[in-house]
């Protein structure tokens, strides 16, 4: 009898989970898409990289940048960086994000299908983001934002800066190891981490004149013995991609968070604290880079031809 009850409960749960997949569909006019930015080129872009739960560290960085009076005109995010970036662009300041992170119930992101060794759909991620931004689309957020994702039909990096915020984040964070591909229109999308873990080049392509990038990936030197080769290969691939784009950043911040990641509240608090302390240690470097940029901008303005009256 207990077995029958368990089977019945599991069947009902799976039916409910399947019903939840209807959340995948959004009206055609809300589908994530890209449209070139209008208006002047962004002065300061903040690029937030991939890293799963390591991404809580972005909040510690934001906390210090806010205290320094640095406010981005554009946010470009990949994977978990897309989620943090969207919430920040929606109006959550660093301290608000810190409270959200500390009080997060991570169980709300698990799906019963995972008990059957199936990949998550990511629908809970979509729901969470859409709820936190009050249903606003990407273009309705306070700060312009662009989210990186990998289009599987041609394995190209694409950006979303319009449309449903939750669905765009879900696509950008669809790590193939843990999440099913996300359908948007006629195409399937996966994690932006696959092609651009820290999308610095994308920020430059969008016209950003000063780029602060945040890399929360593990340092190779922290890799413990016995780690699966697949993890080592993925870390090496990610490091190569980041190195290729790093020269285009004015400031690249890379706090050492240790190798293993987790979802516990203590882990979340620790990585936010580590990233905050690291960024404080590098405040002089950030200020120096910003001063050099402002000096270049001033010279460019002085050299530009003035219109007569």
Tell me the β-bridge partners of 158: 149
* Per-residue DSSP letter, 217: P
Q: Provide the residue count of the chain.
A: 309
Written as six digits, the tokens of 126 are: 């979509």
Residue 79 appears among annotated catalytic residues: yes
**210: helix, strand or coil:** strand
Rounded Cα distance, 79 and 174, in Å? 7
Count of beta carbons in the 10 Å neighbourhood of residue 83: 24
Written as six digits, the tokens of 279 are: 């960024």
Between 57-67 and 265-281, two packed helices, what is the crossing angle to 10 degrees?
A: 40
Count of beta carbons in the 10 Å neighbourhood of residue 213: 25
Residue 219 CB partners (closer than 8 Å, separation 6+) = 254, 256, 259
Written as six digits, the tokens of 210 are: 């000063």
Rounded Cα distance, 181 and 179, in Å? 6
Which of 191, 215, 235, 250 is flagged as catalytic?
Answer: 191
Count of beta carbons in the 10 Å neighbourhood of residue 25: 11
Which of 50, 78, 79, 196 is flagged as catalytic?
Answer: 79
Residue 191 appears among annotated catalytic residues: yes
Residues with active-site annotation: 79, 191
């Amino acid at each position: 009898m207990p077995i029958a009850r368990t089977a019945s409960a599991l069947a009902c749960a799976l039916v409910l989970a399947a019903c939840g997949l209807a959340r995948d569909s959004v009206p055609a006019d809300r589908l994530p898409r890209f449209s070139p930015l209008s208006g002047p080129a962004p002065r300061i872009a903040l690029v937030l990289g991939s890293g799963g739960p390591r991404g809580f560290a972005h909040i510690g960085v934001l906390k210090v940048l806010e205290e320094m009076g640095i406010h981005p005109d554009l946010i470009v995010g990949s994977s978990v960086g897309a989620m943090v970036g969207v919430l920040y662009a929606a109006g959550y300041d660093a301290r608000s994000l810190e409270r959200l992170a500390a009080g997060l119930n991570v169980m709300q992101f698990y799906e019963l299908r995972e008990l059957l060794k199936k990949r998550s759909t990511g629908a809970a991620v979509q729901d969470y983001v859409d709820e936190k931004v009050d249903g606003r689309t990407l273009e309705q957020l306070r700060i312009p934002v662009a989210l990186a994702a990998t289009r599987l039909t041609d394995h190209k990096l694409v950006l979303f800066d319009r449309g449903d915020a939750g669905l765009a984040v879900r696509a950008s964070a669809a790590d193939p190891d843990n999440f099913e591909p996300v359908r948007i229109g006629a195409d399937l999308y996966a994690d932006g981490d696959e092609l651009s873990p820290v999308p610095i080049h994308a920020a430059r392509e969008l016209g950003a004149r000063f780029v602060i990038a945040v890399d929360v990936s593990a340092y190779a030197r922290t890799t413990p013995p016995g780690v699966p080769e697949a993890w080592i290969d993925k870390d090496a691939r990610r490091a190569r991609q980041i190195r290729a784009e790093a020269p285009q950043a004015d400031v690249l911040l890379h706090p050492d968070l240790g190798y293993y990641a987790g979802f516990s509240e203590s882990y979340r608090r620790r990585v936010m604290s580590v990233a905050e302390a690291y960024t404080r240690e590098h405040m002089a470097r950030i200020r120096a880079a910003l001063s050099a940029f402002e000096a270049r901008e001033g010279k460019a303005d002085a050299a530009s031809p003035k219109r007569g009256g």
